[in-house]
């Protein structure tokens, strides 16, 4: 498998861009002392942020500063689009996977204070580890009337201890709403990934930490952090 590719069932897909959303779970908005947004808060990770460290190690140099974990449901688009509705957005989704939006928290806090962009705090090399993706069933729309992502439990364990827990139904903006919103500004392409935000419980990662990120119905993402 090439760099910048993700596994999808027995196949793989080249990743185009990575569109992330901040503040998409109320409990996480609260723990960060942020305001609940009226519109989704998007930011980007470059494709070079992608990492597929499954069962291996991921090196994020200590020199970059404080590193935080954020478990997130990732969405892989099989088709592109522009100015799509939420209903149309649901049809662009090809698969779901487990991702982490690794964040250089000290740098992000500094950027927030200076009203500067989050680009380096969120987009550094290796900041987007993902597990294997699973294809969306063809009848997903009919099967999950509420949202294409359904209501799945998310759980992040570090060294066997639960650090983050939530449910995808707690998202403030559902995946198809996020995709529709983003498509007003960005032309969406096959291979685009969406990281859909994190529940509460974010915290620091240290060298040697063993991570098990799991979302109901999806392959686990397991790796060890090296710093």
> Which residues lie near Zn ion (CB under 5 A)?
70, 101, 198
* Residue number with CB closer to Zn ion (70 or 176): 70
* Residue number with CB closer to Zn ion (15 or 100): 100
| Ramachandran angles phi, psi of 82, nearest 5° | -145, 140
* Closest C-alpha to 153, from 76, 70, 73: 73
CB of 218: closest distance to Zn ion in angstroms? 17
Return d(Cα 186, Cα 140) in angstroms, integer.
25
**Which residue is at the shortest CB distance from Zn ion?**
101
* Residue number with CB closer to Zn ion (91 or 173): 173
CB of 142: closest distance to Zn ion in angstroms? 30
CB of 64: closest distance to Zn ion in angstroms? 17
CB of 196: closest distance to Zn ion in angstroms? 8
Please report the DSSP string for 21-58 in residue order: EES-BHHHHHHTTPPPPSS-EEEEE-GGGEE--TTSEE
* Residue number with CB closer to Zn ion (94 or 101): 101
Beta strands (DSSP E) in the chain are 5-8, 11-14, 18-22, 41-45, 50-51, 57-59, 67-69, 71-77, 93-100, 103-104, 128-129, 134-135, 153-158, 161-167, 193-195, 203-204, 210-215, 221-226
Q: Is the dihedral of CA 216, 222, 97, 205 positive or negative?
A: positive
* Residue number with CB closer to Zn ion (81 or 157): 157
Contact 151, 167 (CB under 8 A): yes
CB of 23: closest distance to Zn ion in angstroms? 9
CB of 76: closest distance to Zn ion in angstroms? 17
* Residue number with CB closer to Zn ion (13 or 28): 28
Q: Could you tell me which residues come within 8 angstroms of residue 138 by beta carbon, excluding any fewer than 6 positions away?
A: none
């Amino acid at each position: 498998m090439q760099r910048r590719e993700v596994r999808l069932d027995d196949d793989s897909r080249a990743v185009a861009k990575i569109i992330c959303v901040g503040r998409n779970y109320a409990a996480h908005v609260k723990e960060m002392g942020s305001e609940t947004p009226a519109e989704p808060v998007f930011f980007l990770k470059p494709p070079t942020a992608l990492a597929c460290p499954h069962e291996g190690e991921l090196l994020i140099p200590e020199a970059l500063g404080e590193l935080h974990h954020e478990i997130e449901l990732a969405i892989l688009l099989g088709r592109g689009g522009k100015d799509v509705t939420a209903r149309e957005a649901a049809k662009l989704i090809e698969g779901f996977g487990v991702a982490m939006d690794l964040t250089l928290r000290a740098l992000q806090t500094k950027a927030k204070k200076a009203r500067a962009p989050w680009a380096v705090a969120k987009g550094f090399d290796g900041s987007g580890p993902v597990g294997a993706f699973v294809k969306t069933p063809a009848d997903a729309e009919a099967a999950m009337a509420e949202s294409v992502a359904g209501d799945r439990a998310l759980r992040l364990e570090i060294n066997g201890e639960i650090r983050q827990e939530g449910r995808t139904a707690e998202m403030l903006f559902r995946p198809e709403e996020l995709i529709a919103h983003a498509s007003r500004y960005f032309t969406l392409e096959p291979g685009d990934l969406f990281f859909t935000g994190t529940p509460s419980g974010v915290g620091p990662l240290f060298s040697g930490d063993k991570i098990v990120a799991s979302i109901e119905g999806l392959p686990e993402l397991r790796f060890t952090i090296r710093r």
